Amino acid sequence: MALEAYSSQAADSVHSDVLSEARIACYKARDAFYACLEKESDKKPTESASVGLLYPAECKKNREAYVNQCRPTWVKHFDRQYCAKKRVQRLLDDNESRRGPLSLPQPYTFKPPCSC
């Protein structure tokens, strides 16, 4: 049977890089890098990260640690998330007169109104 064939399949290994310890280390390195990015925001961003994100040379060490601690797909995912957050912030902080309709992220399952 297909199911039995599956359970005897080889390569039943544990990927420790997504387990709790590695995950927390990755989150820490990520937060340190983005904190550096905020701190050095007045410097000229010359280095390029993924998804078009640029960062100043001062944060190079943090970036290296971050890339070392996380899976490459995770880095890309978080970079994209950071850019999206920045974009919304820019729209919100922008000059009142230039502000157009905003599409902020909306919850996407139906939640009945609270009857309490």
- Selection from 63, 76, 69, 77 nearest residue 22 by Cα: 69
What is the nearest approach in angstroms of another protein to the Cβ of residue 27?
8
Rg (alpha carbons) of the chain, rounded to whole number? 21
Is residue 111 a contact residue for another protein (CB under 8 A)? Answer: yes
Q: State which of residues 25, 60, 65, 76 lies at the interface with another protein (CB under 8 A).
A: 76
What are the two backbone dihedrals, phi and then psi, of residue 44, each rounded to the nearest 5 degrees? -80, 120
How far is the first Cα of the chain from the last one, in angstroms, to the nearest whole number? 52
- Per rule CB under 8 A, count of chain residues that contact another protein: 27
Which positions lie near another protein, rule CB under 8 A?
2-3, 5-7, 9, 11-15, 18-20, 23, 70-74, 76-78, 107-109, 111
